[in-house]
Amino acid sequence: MELKDFVVTPIVLFIVYVLAYIIRPRVTDHNTRRYFIPALTVKIIGAIAVGLIYQFYYGGGDTFNYFHHGSAHIIDAFKDNLIKGVRLIFSNGEHEASTYLYSSQIWYFKDSASFFMVKIVAIIDLFTFHTYSATACIIAALSFSGIWALYMVFYDLYPQRHLHFAIISFFIPSLFFWGSGVLKDSVTIGALGWITYAVFELFVKRKNIRQNGFVLLVAGYVLFSIKKYTLLVFLPAAIIWLYIEYFQRIRSLAKKVISFPIVVGLAVLSGYYGVFYVAEGDEKYALGNLAETAKITAYDIRYFSGRDAGSGYDIGELDGTFQGMMNLAPQAIIVSLFRPFPWEANNVLMLLSSFESQLVLILTIYVIVFELRYLLVHFRRSHIIFCFLFSITFAFAVGVSTFNFGTLVRYKIPLLPFYLAGLIMVLEERKRFFNRPAYLLNENRS
């Protein structure tokens, strides 16, 4: 940290909180108002804490590379010449003679996803005078806006569970820590929240078509640019959600019987071609190369780039084939959702993560034990199917391609609110089921 951090950051925080208090009445009601400012506050605390951990514990890392070895050079270009700075912001990763002095010093210039993050940091730095902690606070606030949008989706579906959804959306330590700082994970979780909100408002509630359509495009573009695999997992899950939602709105039994195979077929085809077109032109994420990409990424993180990020784990050998990758699906899902176990932790941060994982495991076992008989009844809800489909698929994707607990803790945070929300929804559906009139209950059991 520098002296200007103690000057600029309080000013930025003052502006952020003034805007928060102005916005709060428009996006809250009597149930949710109490969570808004505390949730924003823990995100900001998390953002500053990430910077301190990377500075004094890790001695560097991605967050400082984006700032000192990325954004700093774009800011220098702006100081030298406005046009040069703008050209770097809109650069596609190709060196140009006029900006080579700056682009050649940017560590992530050739990595499109990381360079996109650098550009986000640089744009914010223009307003914070290149002050790390102030920039981190703004990124935390922007990320919070997406998490709040996601919370509004959960709350809209089950308003009586507002406290439980608030806890899993805002107050899980790994979410407000790793999902708040100057990291791609913060932007990812924010964009994921916004795209989920836009899909829900646009296609389920059918409200504010233009506004939500714009949000959908922007959030989708951010996910596409910064963590494409998140969009690849989200897209088929969202498509299936919407097709099931449409199918459930058909009242005629005859029409349901006729349309069921059509809806299933369309959902599968739409999901496949959606993923195909998102991955088109990217050799890394092309459907035929996903298994090889998972292998390369997993072993790179385990033995090279992430070897110092925490203890490694082994779920079996990846051979670069789709079949070999799918064989590891159960182990990958378990490691993402329920590990590290306490005895696998080798530092304080890992130990905290293990406690979270064990709580998720306990809640999962509780739901399975007490809800197994009625799971088919609960899974008639399209949004529950979506939450579990997205979170479990995402758990598989990160679990099979990481092989390092230190990195996995960060990578898995997008699945946590969806998976835990799914469990809460199942419990609420059980409550609704048993509170129904007796004649309806008997009809469903017969």
**DSSP secondary structure string, 390-406?**
HHHHHHHHHHTTT-BHH
Q: Which of 180, 196, 204 is nearest to 387 (CA)?
A: 196
3-class secondary-structure state, position 85: helix
Average pLDDT, the chain: 85
pLDDT of 127 over the 90 cut: yes
* Higher pLDDT, residue 256 or 16: 16
- pLDDT in the model for residue 438: 45
Secondary element (H or E) of residue 25: helix 5-27
**How far is 411 from 414, CA to CA, in rounded Å?**
7
For the chain, helix (H) and strand (E) counts, in that order, are 23, 0
Who's near 297: CB < 8 A, 6+ residues apart?
A: 401, 402
**How far is 248 from 257, CA to CA, in rounded Å?**
12
Handedness of CA 284, 295, 290, 189 (dihedral sign): negative
Who's near 220: CB < 8 A, 6+ residues apart?
A: 195, 231
**How far is 234 from 228, CA to CA, in rounded Å?**
10
Contact between 47 and 137 under an 8 Å Cβ cutoff? The reply is yes
**How far is 84 from 237, CA to CA, in rounded Å?**
41
Residue type, 335: V
pLDDT of 92 over the 90 cut: no
pLDDT (mean) for 390-417:
90
- pLDDT in the model for residue 441: 43
Rounded alpha-carbon distances, angstroms, from residue 382 to 153, 199, 375, 414:
13, 13, 13, 20
pLDDT of 16 over the 60 cut: yes
**How far is 73 from 122, CA to CA, in rounded Å?**
9
Helix locations, 28-90, DSSP H: 33-53, 62-66, 72-80, 82-89
Query: For 404, phi and psi rounded to 5 degrees?
Result: -150, 120
The model's pTM: 0.90
Contact between 226 and 195 under an 8 Å Cβ cutoff? The reply is no
3-class secondary-structure state, position 415: helix
Rounded alpha-carbon distances, angstroms, from residue 69 to 63, 94, 232, 309, 410:
10, 17, 29, 20, 22
- pLDDT in the model for residue 85: 92
- pLDDT in the model for residue 446: 36
